[in-house]
Amino acid sequence: MHRRAVIVDYGMGNLRSVFNKLKVVGQHAEVSSSPEVIRRADFLILPGVGHFAKGISNIKELGLWDLLNEMVLVKATPIMGICLGMQLMANSSEEGDSEGFGWIEGRIHQNIHSDYLRFKVPHIGWNDVDRGIDNLFFEGVDGTKKFYFVHGYHMQCSNKNDVLATSEYDFEFVSAVQRKNIVGFQFHPEKSHLQGQKLFQNVLQIL
């Protein structure tokens, strides 16, 4: 695992916990917003918490938009998105009415609930992740273990094959996506105890 992993820092949220947990599973990562550093990566992590449109505009301002597109689509560099990082992979979002990378066919929608006093927004807490059977990414992850979520928007995928896992909070939603060299998690593996670390190990092994 002597890969050059880079955590893309586009000014959205806490990157330190992702860095720490990758280190625990034996993968050193560099945290950077520099196109030169990111260009040399052979594994990318796109984390992030916050507003979709702001995230995209930060990425463009940093001069990373074309670079990331080229690396992910042309060079097929493996990339793992977390939370907002996963959402940015969709075509577009209702949050700030913004375009996304479009690596995963889909759109980000606001969580709409039947009862806002029972189902508070955002969805914060530990929830089950239904990953079907024979899902290599979740191999060795105990099916009863929950993952930590914080989000007020969710992805709707156009292509069912891109859905890696689903979860339920009032309604069923996509909690993980995967297509070729691209994987994304709506929840936070880096804050999800040992099951999260196992997931990181699996991703690093598969992609």
**Residues of the shown chain interacting with other proteins in the complex, contacts defined by CB under 8 A:** 12-14, 16-17, 20-21, 49-51, 116-118, 120-128, 144-146, 148, 150-152, 168-169, 188, 191-194, 196-197
Q: Please report how close the Cβ of residue 77 comes to other proteins at its closest, in angstroms.
A: 27
**Over the Cα atoms of the chain, what is R_g?**
16
Q: Which is nearer to other proteins, 110 or 159 (CB)?
A: 110
Q: Phi, psi at residue 133, to the nearest 5°?
A: -110, 160
The token pair that represents 101 in the structure block: 């990378």
Q: Which is nearer to other proteins, 20 or 159 (CB)?
A: 20
Q: Which is nearer to other proteins, 95 or 162 (CB)?
A: 95
SS3 (DSSP) at 48? coil
To the query of whether residue 157 is one of the catalytic residues in this protein, the response is no
Do the strands 182-185 and 79-82 form a parallel or antiparallel pair, or are they unpaired?
parallel
Fill in the DSSP letter of residue 189.
Answer: G
Which helix or strand (DSSP H or E) is residue 53 part of?
Answer: helix 52-61
Helices (H), 97-190: none
Catalytic residue among 36, 109, 190, 193: 190
Q: Please report how close the Cβ of residue 126 comes to other proteins at its closest, in angstroms.
A: 6
SS3 (DSSP) at 33? coil
Q: Please report how close the Cβ of residue 189 comes to other proteins at its closest, in angstroms.
A: 11
Q: d(Cα 100, Cα 85) in Å, to the nearest integer?
A: 10
To the query of whether residue 190 is one of the catalytic residues in this protein, the response is yes
Q: Please report how close the Cβ of residue 86 comes to other proteins at its closest, in angstroms.
A: 15
Catalytic residue among 94, 139, 188, 193: 188
Q: Which is nearer to other proteins, 8 or 182 (CB)?
A: 8
Q: Which is nearer to other proteins, 135 or 197 (CB)?
A: 197
Q: Please report how close the Cβ of residue 170 comes to other proteins at its closest, in angstroms.
A: 9
Which helix or strand (DSSP H or E) is residue 168 part of?
Answer: strand 163-169
| Alpha-carbon distances, residue 117 vs 112, 113, 120, 150, 171 (angstroms) | 12, 9, 6, 17, 15
What positions carry a catalytic annotation? 83, 188, 190
